[in-house]
Amino acid sequence: MNYRHVFHAGNHTEVFKHAALVFVLERLLAKPQPFAVLDTHAGVGLYDLGSAEAQKTREYEHGAARVFGRDLPSAPAYTRLLAALNPEGLKAYPGSPEIVRRMLRDHDRLVACELHPADVATLRRRYRGDPRVSVHHRDGYEAIGALSPPPERRGLVFIDPPYERTDEAERLAQALADGLRKWPNGIFLAWYPIKDRRIADTLAQAAVAGAFPKALRAEFLAYPRDDAALAGGGIIVCNTPWRLDDKLKALCGELAGLLGDGAATWRVDWLTAP
């Protein structure tokens, strides 16, 4: 509950993670039927990059600032969203709730869960006037079991925890297994940080052992891994949408020339059969 996302808003891991989120939302939008998104660790939705917190770390300068205003052929919807939010230059960065909200149609829904009391209050003020968005002050992992499957029977569970707890990877792996049992055809996208391999390997092993359906792993490391600093991030997607692997490969190839110090590495591979 002490993690404050604003210090890291728009960094190199966010560019990769949020472009991937947009890819999944685009696939859901390709069909006319309504869908729901459950965002388990929502934060405040929108981050002021001019705030004292963001200026203290300036992590966005090595992430969103390097793609903002560029033609990014691998992820045009993501860059268009950034541009629409910042018509006078990069001043704000959207968290996952804001990205989802901006892509919803009138009959789609977002359920945003957050435990931090101040962040919940901010979320409620921000989205009070939008009937498509509901904000819950509750544990996101618990919400997966309580709110899945949604009435729409189509949609996404987006899991982006702060990784403050030493057992976060195990909790996430169990949440994925439990969620897939309740909603076997739901799309689940879980993000993890990469400093060393422990979290990544724990989640990958769980996906294989649990035979998670159509489980895809994608990792983008802007910097060489040294087991201490944040080198990059990864995602595991279950019930992976069609051709998401190809889109992620194109994204990683393009980001490798924009993010990091010239030594970026990446991988996109299937953990269970597509």
What's the token pair of residue 257? 């020339």
Q: How many CA atoms lie within 13 A of 133 on its CB side?
A: 24
**What phi and psi values does residue 45 have, to the nearest 5 degrees?**
95, -40
Rounded Cα distance, 232 and 241, in Å: 23
160 is catalytic: yes
**What are the DSSP calls for 130-190, one per residue?**
-TTEEEE-S-HHHHHHHH-S-TT--EEEEE-----STTHHHHHHHHHHHHHHH-TT-EEEE
Spatial contact of 158 and 95, defined as CB atoms under 8 Å apart: no
Q: Which DSSP helix (H) or strand (E) runs through 47?
A: strand 46-48
From 106, 160, 167, 261, active-site residue: 160
Rounded Cα distance, 85 and 92, in Å: 7
Known catalytic residues are 160
